[in-house]
C-alpha cells in the first residue's frame, strides 16, 4: 500500500490504482464513521468507490456521489452497489 496522506492531521488510506480526490478526502476526514470503514476496506474496494465517484461527467453528479458514498460508508456498505465496478481492474 502506498503512503498515507494527511488531511487536517487525519490520515486517509489510499488505493492501489486511484488516489482519492481532494473533495472526497475532505468528506471522509470530516466523517469519522465513514473514515473508519474506509480504513477497513480493501484497496480494490477503495478503487471502486473512487472510480464510481470520478466517473460522473458533471460536477453535480460527482458531488451527489460523494454524498452518497459517505452516507453508504457510514451505513457499513463496503462497495458501491449496482455498479459494474472499476474499469481498471
Q: pLDDT digits over 41-71, tens only?
A: 988 889 899 999 998 889 999 999 999 999 9
> Would 68 be classed as within a structural domain?
yes
Dist. CA 23–CA 48, nearest whole Å: 16
Residue 88 has pLDDT above 80, yes or no: no
> Would 83 be classed as within a structural domain?
no
pTM of the model: 0.77
Dist. CA 41–CA 28, nearest whole Å: 13
Q: pLDDT digits over 10-53, tens only?
A: 566 655 678 899 999 999 999 999 999 999 998 888 989 999 99
Angle between helix axes 22-29 and 59-74 (nearest 10 degrees) is 30
Domain count for the chain: 1
Distances (CA, A) of 26 to 15, 67, 70, 83, 85: 16, 12, 11, 24, 23
> Would 11 be classed as within a structural domain?
yes
Strand partners, 10: 7
Domain that holds residue 63: 5-74
Amino acid at each position: 500500500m502506498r503512503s498515507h496522506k494527511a488531511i487536517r492531521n487525519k490520515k486517509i488510506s489510499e488505493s492501489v490504482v486511484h488516489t482519492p480526490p481532494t473533495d472526497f478526502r475532505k468528506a471522509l476526514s470530516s466523517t469519522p464513521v465513514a473514515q473508519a470503514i474506509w480504513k477497513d476496506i480493501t484497496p480494490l474496494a477503495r478503487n471502486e468507490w473512487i472510480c464510481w465517484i470520478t466517473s460522473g461527467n458533471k460536477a453535480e453528479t460527482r458531488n451527489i456521489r460523494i454524498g452518497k458514498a459517505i452516507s453508504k460508508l457510514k451505513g457499513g456498505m463496503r462497495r458501491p452497489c449496482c455498479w459494474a465496478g472499476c474499469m481498471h481492474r
